[in-house]
A and B are shown apart, each in its own frame.
Chain A
């Protein structure tokens, strides 16, 4: 961590990742404008990993895990945090080298550190998705998840997408040598108005922890879950042609509802109103929605349907 190349703030690490992956030819997307549990839920990953069309994107995704809220007190745990996500289809043969290049870009020189690829298979029961890969260790700490998608929404991925997910706070804390996430410089510590992560998020962590655990109206959440589920099903069942006879299947609007249902489930879970046996049933309901969206997406242009690239 004595490299002169060392970034000075959380945002500098994000900016360097953005520049690096832009230079590798990825489309730099913006976060998806909905509440999600992880960067994988962004349609740029979930839906775009389906079908035969080539794809390369990178983006920051704010992610919410209500059960991980600790009122801003835990040095590592947050109910709202950032993931950096890279998705490239087909996975290029030098993806590991590209990834290592991104570590160099943020000041982690693999000649000084101990970077290792340790077996870790990835599975998302709510998305009906799984892949094989590793968690990447740097000096014994997990800094990224590296996955070759094999199935999404119950469909085989052909070609296979390579997915990289960086847990930004943890990675940045390591690079910057910070012990508590709230102490981490968000912008340059020498800036006229220097802001720490805590200046920006301590209060929100407290507020959301309280709301997630104690206040969220479970009756309303349950109703929202049912509404999202029903709307998703309705969109999926709608005729692919509109009133003017144009073929416009609505895979993305349907998927938005699936994302909503998934997040509502997470909120209900944090409120402790879902029993162990019900849990599986809820996960199954969300998976059924995600699967329906995947099925529909595969019939669209973005999935390469009808083109030569179709799998």
Chain B
């Protein structure tokens, strides 16, 4: 059982590509080996900036011999048929066997493929892997045709067993596999020979290369923490940075530096972002002052001066960077203090989206919407509108220009500097949230109002111009916005009637655009029948339509010469009013509902349960939808719940059949006086008790209570179906029982559409 060791030695591989490259190498090689008939016990892939390595342990030494029998032509078949068979099997006539078959004697070929040695298979599989490696970006170099992420210099490929190590014979475009590699670029550049994976890893370590990225990351973390601990500081944890830095060094040497006093007045987020983005430094926090006062840079070398020169150089670069940041900060603070009017003015010329207008246009819309939403989420309307007007102004600040990821964070500082209340400033920081499924959701009412307004405006706007997400394409992150709306509403428990809100906002958008003269109304003679066509088609048609109308009018007035000049004014027009408000709202709500299903599925609520709830009225109130779905989900987990669903469905089915057969709807008039059995009377009594209880509970939005009330029907319904034959010969009794069933159906409908529940 030999072990296989592969190393692909190259110039520096981008850190961000290393994790996937490890996986790809492992997959390509092990899949190839297995496909060729080898098996193995385990495999592990490693990377440093200059190498990708793979160890495969317990590999079979040979692939197994395979034996295949193939039936050929009959012995008396024409010569051509036999020749074809020989060609396809690669055998000679002497090697064939004649066997008896149903229709006489037939040629049989027995093809034995001997197993192949592992080395031959490895060579093939590795060459194919090198030639087809799925780098996100690859390149050529020199005069050769090979592609790799950066120039590939060496291939180490050995098979090791008890007898020793054997080089796998392989040459790819002039690179011949061997058993040698090199250590650290500067500290141990000489070549050395390795005999196994253990030998390889151990010799690399002596040659100042830590092979395992996880070990490098751990080393960086613990050394950085030790350095910080010595000063009583803490390292600000940053796993993404840690993984990146671990991919930039073969021999990590963390060094700690102190930030000059003159920069300590900068906001900690600015220090951290600047140090991380430009320098890949970790930040060190002084818990005594709550400020970031130091940094850790990770060098790739041990030097005679213990890194003093390296640290001094890094400190210098940092000072230059932070001087820039301090300059931005001072200028921005001055602008903030004077009310940020220049920034607001500047946003008028920044396009948000060509049809949706400038950032200033967008801010005005969000401000109006935030004002509407404020009372629904317990925020002060003036504060919400004010916050929305300020929240995006930092987009024009120098600091956000330099570090876009600080949008919002800087907005909060600048709002405070402008003398705004904390709630307004915090909304500037938090209104972008939540940015993803795991990002925290703001809870302060003003922040919630602005965050909701921001996302709902985005959704309405892109729906209005028909730029919805399709398949995997979602360039404006509308799915994320929708999930944000859901999580904001859910967390703040804000009962917002979304349909009315969205419709109102949409019409407001239209009226603004109409005022701006960028919108034409669909004329009355443009038929409603056109509504199902895609917006772009409708737009083009409408332009044509308007053009024709104007042409007729103009031609009558001015003659045919006016024809060409009329094209222009319509070329820049566009029309959203072709999309009727109710169509847009319905479509957008259904998009939100789809997102809600995905979101609730992750919380363990099945999509059919949500569908059953969404079929009810008030489905645009997501708080209610979630509460109903949760209560229904809980009930359906109980024995009563499961049986009740069956009972409701059975009632529904019997009714549906009877209604179809009789051509009438059984909806009222069930009378206990026609009840023949105890079970019927008991059901009447139970329904009489349950109906008002369910109604009261639903009105009070006490869904668990509604569920208990309906669950109480389980026993009477079961008993009824056990004892009573609905389709009695007596038509009066039959009708009465059907009408009784309809009361069951109605009881269910108060809560959900149980027919949508599966199982």
A→B interface (CB under 8 Å): 1-2, 75-76, 90-93, 96, 110-119, 121, 131-134, 138-141, 148, 150, 157-160, 162, 174
Contacts and interface: CB of A to CB of B under 8 A. Distances in A.
A111 B303 contact: yes
B17 to A, nearest CB: 8
A1 B309 contact: yes
B320 A76 contact: yes
Contacts of B149: 132
A112 B314 contact: no
A70 B749 CA distance: 74
B16 interface: yes
Given A112-B303, A116-B248, A119-B14, A141 B139 contact: no
Contacts of A114: 299-301, 307, 310, 313
B140 A150 contact: yes
B309 A112 contact: yes
Given A119-B14, A139-B313, A150-B140, 20 more contacts: A2-B309, A75-B320, A91-B141, A92-B142, A93-B151, A93-B153, A113-B313, A114-B300, A114-B313, A117-B49, A118-B248, A132-B139, A132-B150, A139-B309, A140-B313, A140-B317, A148-B151, A150-B139, A160-B139, A174-B313
14 contacts: A76-B320, A114-B301, A114-B307, A118-B248, A119-B12, A138-B313, A139-B316, A140-B314, A140-B317, A148-B140, A148-B151, A150-B140, A160-B139, A174-B313
A157 B318 CA distance: 38
Contacts of A131: 139
B110 interface: no
Nearest to B140: A160
B663 interface: no
Contacts of B139: 131-132, 148, 150, 160
Contacts of B314: 139-140
B171 to A, nearest CB: 16
Interface string B302-315: 01110101101110
A91 B301 contact: no
Given A76-B320, A116-B300, A159-B142, A139 B137 contact: no
B463 to A, nearest CB: 26
Contacts of B150: 132-133, 148
A116 B50 CA distance: 11
Nearest to A88: B142
Contacts of B299: 114
Contacts of B732: none
Interface string B10-42: 011011100000000000000000000000000
Given A1-B309, A110-B186, A119 B142 contact: no
B143 interface: yes
Contacts of A93: 142, 151, 153
B279 interface: yes
A98 to B, nearest CB: 13
B754 to A, nearest CB: 57
* B interface: dominant SS: loop
Contact of B142 (A1, A75, A90, A117): A90
A93 B144 CA distance: 11
B297 interface: yes
Q: Which 6 A-B pairs have the closest CB atoms?
A: A139-B313, A119-B14, A159-B143, A117-B12, A140-B314, A114-B299
Contacts, number: 97
A134 B49 CA distance: 12
A137 B546 CA distance: 62
A230 to B, nearest CB: 29
Interface string B255-280: 00000000000000000000000010
B151 A113 contact: no
A133 B297 CA distance: 23
A139 B140 contact: no
Contact of A140 (B11, B186, B303, B318): B318
Contacts of A75: 320
Contacts of A148: 139-141, 150-151
Interface in B224-263: 248-249
B396 to A, nearest CB: 15
Given A138-B313, A141-B313, A117 B137 contact: no
A148 B297 CA distance: 28
Given A119-B15, A119-B16, A139 B317 contact: yes
Interface in B104-162: 137, 139-143, 149-151, 153
A174 B186 CA distance: 21
Contacts of B14: 119
A2 B139 CA distance: 39
Interface in B60-86: none
B305 A112 contact: yes
Contacts of B153: 93
Contact of A139 (B12, B141, B310): B310
Contacts of A1: 309, 312-313
B151 to A, nearest CB: 7
Interface centre among B15, B49, B143, B317 (most CB of A within 10 A): B143
A40 to B, nearest CB: 17
A163 to B, nearest CB: 12
B143 A141 contact: no
Contacts of A158: 140, 143
A145 to B, nearest CB: 14
B309 A113 contact: yes
Contacts of B316: 139, 141, 174
A96 B206 CA distance: 24
A162 B249 CA distance: 24
Contact of A111 (B186, B312, B317, B320): B186
Contacts of A111: 186, 301, 303-304
Nearest to B281: A140
Task: Report which residue of A115, A140, A158 has the largest number of chain B beta carbons within 10 angstroms of its beta carbon.
Answer: A140
A43 B516 CA distance: 51
B317 A141 contact: yes
A252 to B, nearest CB: 25
Contacts of B49: 117
B75 to A, nearest CB: 58
A150 B317 CA distance: 31
A117 B300 contact: no
B502 to A, nearest CB: 32
Contacts of A96: 11
B408 to A, nearest CB: 24
Contacts of B303: 111-113
A229 B15 CA distance: 42
Nearest to B297: A140
A91 B140 CA distance: 10
Contact of B12 (A91, A121, A134): A134
A30 B186 CA distance: 33
Contacts of B248: 116, 118
Contacts of A162: 141
Nearest to B304: A112
Nearest to A94: B153
Contacts of A119: 12, 14-16
Nearest to B11: A96
- Of A112, A114, A121, most buried by chain B (CB within 10 Å of CB) is A114
A148 to B, nearest CB: 5
A70 to B, nearest CB: 12
A125 B337 CA distance: 40
Nearest to A93: B142
Contacts of A117: 11-12, 49
Nearest to B302: A111
A93 B154 CA distance: 11
Q: Name which of B137, B300, B313 has the most chain A CB atoms within 10 A of its CB.
A: B313
B182 to A, nearest CB: 12
B731 to A, nearest CB: 79
Given A117-B11, A132-B150, A134-B12, A160 B142 contact: yes
A151 B15 CA distance: 24
A93 B317 CA distance: 32
A96 B10 CA distance: 11
